[in-house]
Structure 1
Amino acid sequence: MISSTLRFLFSAALVLVCLTTSAVSPPPKEGGQTPSPTKSPTATPKPTPAGAIDEKLFSGMQWRQIGPFRGGRALAIEGVPGEPDTYYFGAVAGGVWKTTDGGQNWIPLFDKEDISSIGAIAVAPSDHNVVYAGTGEAAIRGNTTYGIGIYKSIDAGKTWKNVGLKDSRQIGALIVDPRNADVVLVAALGHAFGPNPERGIFRTADGGKTWTKVLSKDENTGGIDVVFDPHNPNIVFASLWQARRQPWFFSSGGAGSGLYRSEDNGVTWKRLEGNGLPEGILGKIGVAVSGADSNRVYAIIEAKEGGLFRSDDAGQKWTRVNDDGRFRQRAWYFSKVYADPKSADTVYLLNTGAFRSVDGGKTFNLLPARHGDHHGLWIDPENPNRIGNANDGGASISIDGGKTWTTQNNQPTAQFYHVAVDNAFPYHIYGAQQDNSNVCIASRTDSGVVGREDWYQAGGGECGFVIPDPRDFLCRWTIPDTARSISLTVFSGCRRYCFRHMIRT
């Protein structure tokens, strides 16, 4: 996305390039003689359709990673209580990743699966070997990627199995009952571009063998958030969101949106309305229950008269404690709230920045988190100084309450809109990364290794295209994803000249 503030341009992401391998000759016979090739009957070649490419041309090519290694958009992150160095995060274009050294190194766990878009992830509190991942991101921007249901691992992420809800497409949240690893609640948003029945709040009591739709409105409304009361998992809060994405249009809101409460572990539900909540169209809603006080519930509501609402009686009555527009800008993309497990007055809001309040939501301070555009937060229930954050630049970890964070330049999960190459020899690869800078990478180097020193700025911020001039690769054209302007960046030695040509749209 294009932010209202010019952001620092990080260096890292993922580009893959093909190499042609050497031809292999037949092995020599004993004595050093090379056998003559055996002639086989000549087969009549099959006609090749016009414009088709013979696959044999690529039979000797291999993939190699040349970087950069900066993270891309991530919506989900989860730590493991009692294991301070273990975390998982889910990238919207890179699958599930795991660290066992506090974020210094990340290992990909999802490379063998059929999907790479992750919307939610949860570790079973009663059995840390059990991990669930909901595929498909629910931040349904124009380049959203859909999923194919819920995956489950019973060996801490080594292997995975799809356990259903394959047509849910976009997963907003996923939680595991702390008493039983087989009881799971899922907020399934459903198809972003049209109606479908597999949307709402789903529950399984047998580890994903069967699923029951326990809360729904209609084929245009899906689940977007679901949380337990940390002290009583029979109490559950959930929100439904009516939204529709089209290539030319987006709608967030609708009569189907609403906030709900369950007192029987998510089997039955009651809609919460009135009593201080806004009237009319509610839009997207995020909800959180304080681990310090079960009566303290927070909800961030998109509505016209929305904002941050607080309940001090477990959801019976509500008060709007903050209507600052900073926390509701692009509400459909954010609207995430998290309660501190030890202090009822400490609450976090995620938007373009990560914000924290220590006075019950009345005022907020900006945390010095990595990157911008924040989508996911995990707070250790036993140690609130230990925090995991997922944002448009990847995942990072803090062990000092958000003062400092681990790097995001160690997780190649970038989303590239388009890739191009120039006519130089060796050639360069150009990529336009979502919510990061454009990048130019050398395909080969004299040292034989492509490293950080071989990654170059290619001009611009978030662009849909970056294209080198075929006559002079130092001239690069970039087109923002809004398609409202075209920029020409000319690199000459240490000087750079930028020309912008506006286009009316």
Structure 2
Amino acid sequence: MMFFNFKITKLRCAYKYAGFLFVSILTFLNTYSQVEPTKAMDRLNGLSQRKLLRSQSLLKNIKFRNIGPSVMSGRVVDVDVNPNDPTEFYVAYATGGLWHTTNNGQSFVPVFDHEAVIGIGDIAVNWHDGEIWVGTGEANSSRSSYSGIGVYKSIDTGRTWQYLGLPESQHIGKIILDPLDKNIAWVAVIGHLYSANKERGVYKTTDGGRTWKQTLYVDDNTGAIDMDINPKNPDELFACMWYRERRAWNFVESGNTSAIYKSVDGGDTWKKITGNNTGFPQDDGTGRIGIAMYAANPQIIYATLDNQNHRPDTATKKRDTSKYVLSDFKNITKEKFLSLNDKKLDTFFIENDFDKKYNDSTVKEMVRTGKIKPTTIYDYLNDANTEMFNTPVIGCEVYRSDDSGLSWKKVNANGLDLYNTYGYYFGKISVSPVNENKIIINGFNLMESNDGGRSFTAVDKFNTHPDWHGTWINPLRDSNWVAGNDGGCNITYDNGKHWFKANTPSVAQFYAIAVDNAKPYNVYGGIQDNGVWYGSSKLNDKEVREDDEESEPDNEWKNLGGGDGMQVQVDTRDNKTVYFGSQFGEYERKAIGGHISKRIHPLPDIEAEKLRYNWQTPILLSSFNQDILYMGSDIFYRSMNKGDKIAPLSKDLSKGTKTGDVPYGTIVTINESPLKFGLIYIGTDDGNIQVTKDGGYTWTLVSSKLPKNLYVSRVVASAFKEGRVYATLNGYRDDNFTPWLYVSEDYGQTWSRLGNNLPSGPLNVIREDPKFENILYVGSDNGLYASFDKGKTFMAFGNDLPPVPVHDIAVQKAANDIVIGTHGRSIYIASLNEVQKIYKDAVK
């Protein structure tokens, strides 16, 4: 079909925007070498490009409908409350934008949806004149902490915004406004997440953000994560510096450059006040630090420390000795293993889902003959989940200074089981403005102390969500708090005895979605730290609900499972049998409405090499026979009977693991051709794409000429031509924002680059239109795009969608709907009828 008509040609000409050629050349050079972090100027050019694509798009008026959910909300990173009227406040979400309420959280209005990025690290509000400062890019350093491009300011309560720069900051921990001079502000920049950069530390402006000066710098891996200011003397500030290195295969959460710094000249110069003989630790285990000053007496300062050093052996703890636990096998000798109680050993194997061939006699014989080591059982079961929760780090500690930081004393008398190994995800501390001994620390639980930190009590309740990231304490009534966590925003008026939710925004962070064939069809999805849910596609449909205006907008969303929700597959023969799971490959099958559940988590023989499961392990039901389930660790698995039995069909399909504490060298995407049974593609997190034409028995590597070592976010076989396959490569874990999209017409033997006009932003997903092979849809970290010419050029979707990461796209063929799974704004649905009509008009 010819595309050289006036409309398409005019559209393409508009895409040749200044800077595109440079980006294309840079991309070509990167294709054949290890990728480098994207420069700030290239990102800014890409954001300008996206703005152009939106303004000139043929699809800018396509209407989307958000169906929620909001019942479990999303990750809150900061709240800022009007101290004179606490019913007015702002809530900042990690990837859900900035929301404003004037009725104590009964309803919210988004005020940051039309800027270049939507992810936020911190906000600061001058409540005297309504001025708002937003630091973009979450500072919590998680697997899905999206980067920003610096600082924004609004002088009209969020109606319009001014960009203030600091584009290389990427992740911002704190913004402080001078209480006496509105032109002075300080920003704590944590810096790039997956690469070193020199633009870390503390920045100061004296002209309202027009210019900035970096006043505190330590090194390229040590950034500023938190700050506080003396409200009685704004020249006195404290800054917390944090050493951390994150790579796709390893996370170093601490280092000996982590420390607290003090300034007495308004942040122009700084002096380190921890370490040495100050009482505050400084060594390789010094992790993230949070700080809070007691406003009534600024000589008193509290700080939290994520201490990554290991606890001393506490084997004296009493436990149930009637059964064995995993730690019993950690350092066991051969003699000790052979003397284990047979009955207790058998019980351990059964409770941990070992194959029936492993029992006390067979395993002891393997140890006796040296076929396996006596510690093999521990190594076999000690997976990523176990290491995440059971590594014996010291974790959260609380320190106090009574002399403005000259000396420190640890005040918590007992260990605080608040962080496990992931203290990098938390760290904020709050002090009552009127009671020096009342402090709140944020972690998995929200904990309060009324004795200066010596003892703490968890104050979250059944109706709150764990994983807390910040608490505002009312200066006029310190029993009133507004706090944020991974499940949204909560408010209490009695020191946490009772809470209510302020969760009306739809800000869930979906990883993956699926649809069934029910009428109306249902949407399923896994959500970051909020489990797996499903709900009707007609939720929030005004036509359906016009006679029921009193009903809640998403009260029909139902939970399937917990943890960090991952992928979902639905057997559309009954629309009830669902496969779903959580992090690191923990899946199960169950029937909706039933109680029978089958755990699906393949394990190899105990003498074989340990499997590696990605955080988001892929699963897939075959469209040819939905009794067949595919699953990937570092090897490819297939079940012919709904997961009751599942067998490996390959060797390691990745490049092999790297030394680190994050599973790496794993399969992350699986797709089977809808035209040929057994034609299956997989992609790995280290850049491999492999294809099998015989259902998984033999595999061929087809990615050797593609960019190296990138996360293969999708491989999708075409429904229009058997040999055609699309691939998206994602450089997020290299701080590279190039949109890599490829197509092959010969089963992956050769590839062609597509989407050269796509703006800067890693790609997560590609889907074909169900009716027209020339229409493609891609989901980027900054939105949704469509092509009318088989991927040569793209246009942005309409004004209904904020610049939120699109992690997944599903197409419901019978309804002719496109369903968008976003990582920060829940689920959107639009009809494809109008898209297809516009396409047909454009190519006439």
Q: TM-score range by the shorter chain?
A: 0.7 to 0.9
- Whether 2:438 is the aligned partner of 1:349: answer no
Q: 1:176 maps to what in 2?
A: 177
| Matched-pair contact (CA < 8 Å) for 1:130–1:181 | no
Q: 1:395 maps to what in 2?
A: 489
- Whether 2:430 is the aligned partner of 1:338: answer yes
Check 1:197–1:356 CA distance in 2 against 1; reply closer, same or farther (3 A cut): same
- Whether 2:595 is the aligned partner of 1:496: answer yes
Q: 1:121 maps to what in 2?
A: 123
Identity rate of aligned residues, in percent?
A: 35
Q: 2:399 aligns with which of 299, 306, 309?
A: 309
Output the CA distance in 2 between the equivalents of 1:448 and 1:357.
49
Q: 1:135 maps to what in 2?
A: 136
The Cα of 1:218 is off from its aligned counterpart by: 1.2
The Cα of 1:207 is off from its aligned counterpart by: 1.1
The structure carrying a bigger helix percent of its residues is: 2
Q: 2:217 maps to what in 1?
A: 216
Q: 1:368 maps to what in 2?
A: 460
Q: 1:431 maps to what in 2?
A: 525
Amino acid at match of 1:327: L
Amino acid at match of 2:500: T
The Cα of 1:69 is off from its aligned counterpart by: 1.8
Output the CA distance in 1 between the equivalents of 2:419 and 2:296.
26
| Superposed CA offset, 1:30-86 (max 9, x none) | xxxxxxxxxxxx959999xxxxxxxx9979952112122231001111101212211
Output the CA distance in 2 between the equivalents of 1:428 and 1:100.
34
Q: 2:544 aligns with which of 428, 448, 469?
A: 448
The Cα of 1:403 is off from its aligned counterpart by: 3.0
**Count of residues paired in the alignment:** 453
Q: 1:465 maps to what in 2?
A: 567
- Whether 2:302 is the aligned partner of 1:298: answer yes
| Superposed CA offset, 1:226-254 (max 9, x none) | 10123222211111111122222111112
When structure 1 is superposed on structure 2, of 228-237 and 188-197 the one drifting more is 228-237
Output the CA distance in 2 between the equivalents of 1:212 and 1:57.
43
Output the CA distance in 2 between the equivalents of 1:104 and 1:44.
50
Q: 1:324 maps to what in 2?
A: 415
When structure 1 is superposed on structure 2, of 90-99 and 116-125 the one drifting more is 116-125
| Matched-pair contact (CA < 8 Å) for 2:531–2:582 | no
Amino acid at match of 2:406: Q
- Whether 2:208 is the aligned partner of 1:107: answer no
Q: 1:91 maps to what in 2?
A: 93
| Superposed CA offset, 1:84-122 (max 9, x none) | 211011001211001111111111111111211111011
| Matched-pair contact (CA < 8 Å) for 2:525–2:566 | no
Check 1:135–1:260 CA distance in 2 against 1; reply closer, same or farther (3 A cut): same
SS for the counterpart of 1:209 is coil
The Cα of 1:362 is off from its aligned counterpart by: 0.0
Amino acid at match of 2:137: G
The Cα of 1:411 is off from its aligned counterpart by: 1.7
SS for the counterpart of 2:417 is helix
The Cα of 1:476 is off from its aligned counterpart by: 1.0
Q: 1:21 maps to what in 2?
A: none
Check 1:429–1:60 CA distance in 2 against 1; reply closer, same or farther (3 A cut): farther
Check 1:279–1:457 CA distance in 2 against 1; reply closer, same or farther (3 A cut): closer
| Superposed CA offset, 1:11-44 (max 9, x none) | xxxxxxxxxxxxxxxxxxxxxxxxxxxxxxx959
Amino acid at match of 2:213: T
The Cα of 1:184 is off from its aligned counterpart by: 1.0
Q: 1:487 maps to what in 2?
A: 588
Output the CA distance in 2 between the equivalents of 1:83 and 1:94.
24
| Matched-pair contact (CA < 8 Å) for 1:230–1:290 | no
Output the CA distance in 1 between the equivalents of 2:597 and 2:233.
59
Check 1:352–1:328 CA distance in 2 against 1; reply closer, same or farther (3 A cut): closer
Output the CA distance in 2 between the equivalents of 1:155 and 1:58.
31
Check 1:489–1:459 CA distance in 2 against 1; reply closer, same or farther (3 A cut): farther
Output the CA distance in 2 between the equivalents of 1:129 and 1:409.
23
The Cα of 1:410 is off from its aligned counterpart by: 1.1
Check 1:215–1:426 CA distance in 2 against 1; reply closer, same or farther (3 A cut): same
| Matched-pair contact (CA < 8 Å) for 1:295–1:314 | yes
Check 1:263–1:454 CA distance in 2 against 1; reply closer, same or farther (3 A cut): same
**TM-score, length-normalised on structure 2?**
0.51
Q: Choose 1 or 2 for highest CA Rg.
A: 2
SS for the counterpart of 1:275 is coil
Output the CA distance in 1 between the equivalents of 2:300 and 2:115.
40
Output the CA distance in 2 between the equivalents of 1:99 and 1:394.
14
| Superposed CA offset, 1:133-154 (max 9, x none) | 1111111111211111111111
Note the aligned Cα RMSD (angstroms): 2.5
The Cα of 1:470 is off from its aligned counterpart by: 3.3
Amino acid at match of 2:280: L
Q: 2:620 maps to what in 1?
A: none
SS for the counterpart of 1:482 is helix
Output the CA distance in 1 between the equivalents of 2:8 and 2:262.
64
| Matched-pair contact (CA < 8 Å) for 2:106–2:502 | no
Check 1:85–1:217 CA distance in 2 against 1; reply closer, same or farther (3 A cut): same
The 5 A counterparts of 1:17-28 are none
Q: 1:32 maps to what in 2?
A: none
Check 1:382–1:230 CA distance in 2 against 1; reply closer, same or farther (3 A cut): farther
Output the CA distance in 2 between the equivalents of 1:421 and 1:399.
41
Output the CA distance in 1 between the equivalents of 2:60 and 2:574.
32
Output the CA distance in 1 between the equivalents of 2:68 and 2:187.
35
The Cα of 1:482 is off from its aligned counterpart by: 1.9
Amino acid at match of 1:487: E
| Matched-pair contact (CA < 8 Å) for 2:563–2:583 | no
The Cα of 1:205 is off from its aligned counterpart by: 1.2
| Matched-pair contact (CA < 8 Å) for 1:398–1:405 | yes
Output the CA distance in 2 between the equivalents of 1:386 and 1:203.
32
Q: 1:50 maps to what in 2?
A: none
The structure carrying a bigger strand percent of its residues is: 1
Check 1:344–1:497 CA distance in 2 against 1; reply closer, same or farther (3 A cut): same
Q: 1:418 aligns with which of 501, 512, 526?
A: 512
The Cα of 1:456 is off from its aligned counterpart by: 2.6
**TM-score, length-normalised on structure 1?**
0.84
| Matched-pair contact (CA < 8 Å) for 1:486–1:503 | no
Amino acid at match of 1:275: T
The Cα of 1:359 is off from its aligned counterpart by: 0.6
| Matched-pair contact (CA < 8 Å) for 1:327–1:335 | no
| Matched-pair contact (CA < 8 Å) for 1:80–1:87 | yes
Check 1:421–1:383 CA distance in 2 against 1; reply closer, same or farther (3 A cut): same
| Matched-pair contact (CA < 8 Å) for 1:104–1:406 | no
Q: 1:280 maps to what in 2?
A: 283
When structure 1 is superposed on structure 2, of 233-242 and 322-331 the one drifting more is 322-331
Amino acid at match of 2:598: F
Output the CA distance in 2 between the equivalents of 1:352 and 1:188.
24
Task: List alignment gaps of at least 5 residues for structure 1.
Answer: 1-41, 48-55
| Matched-pair contact (CA < 8 Å) for 2:525–2:565 | no
Amino acid at match of 1:448: V
Output the CA distance in 1 between the equivalents of 2:441 and 2:555.
37
